[in-house]
Amino acid sequence: MLGVAASNYFYYFAIQKTNVATAIILQYTAPVWVLLYMAARGLQKPSAKRVLAVGLAVVGSALAIGVIGTGRFRMNAIGVVAAILAAFSFAFYNVAGHGILARYDRWKVLLWTLLAASVFWVIVNPPWKILGAHYSGAQWMFLLVFSLISVLVPFSFYFAGLQHLEPTRAIVASCLEPVFSIIIAAIVLGEILRPLQTLGIIIVLVAIVIVQMPDRTAREQANIVVPIE
């Protein structure tokens, strides 16, 4: 609930109060919070490589989304707080999730995570409200397919990655999400990629390459446990 459910709830609430671009870029400050947490707990040395990668990931995401240079950043106090809470929640389930996945089977973790998130959403949006919307059979089918594609599949793959990557590397790699969204929109919907967006995509890719480079010393490595397959 504190990770997946809270992250989604605060993210959508932030969109409602600000806009998509503002909510996304604030949520994608999560790599910063993961790096700071790991360093504060003494779990990982904040090496120049990691600091550079995290900084590039955040800046690259902002450029790719189109926040910088377009005036799309919309300020609203409540919305900004919600987006930052979404970032904290996103960071939390990366840090906590890695530790849990090191001890338990990935599919069991995924099952209990989604069940807990479902309980949260049942409280926020009771079933009778959903049934009261009187969705058609086609709409229910769309919601089913949408949930599989947008929730079950990506979380399955992300948990698999988080099982083998330490949190900082995993969360920097997650910055590919807006990159893929932008590229798919350009291909499928014909949206035009601006030069700054292209630069942002390149910067995100560079950040991912940098953070995945092997550490020079054992002291720079995170204290991680070999995961259960």
Give pLDDT, residue 1.
Answer: 58
Give pLDDT, residue 225.
Answer: 46
Give pLDDT, residue 216.
Answer: 62
Give pLDDT, residue 54.
Answer: 92
Give pLDDT, residue 158.
Answer: 84
pTM confidence score: 0.76
Residue pLDDT tens, the chain, 229 long: 566 778 888 888 888 888 777 888 888 888 999 999 888 887 778 888 899 999 999 999 888 887 765 556 677 788 889 888 988 888 888 888 888 888 888 888 888 888 888 887 788 777 777 777 778 888 888 888 887 787 788 888 888 888 888 888 888 988 888 888 888 888 887 878 888 889 999 999 999 999 888 776 544 455 454 444 4
Give pLDDT, residue 208.
Answer: 92
* DSSP track, the chain: -TTHHHHHHHHHHHHHHS-HHHHHHHHTTHHHHHHHHHHHTTSS---HHHHHHHHHHHHHHHHHHT-TTTT-----HHHHHHHHHHHHHHHHHHHHHHHHHTTS-HHHHHHHHHHHHHHHHHHHS-HHHHHTT---HHHHHHHHHHHIIIIIHHHHHHHHHHHHS-HHHHHHHTTHHHHHHHHHHHHHS-PPPPHHHHHHHHHHHHHHHHHHSPPSSGGGS----PPP-
Domain layout of the chain by residue ranges: 4-220
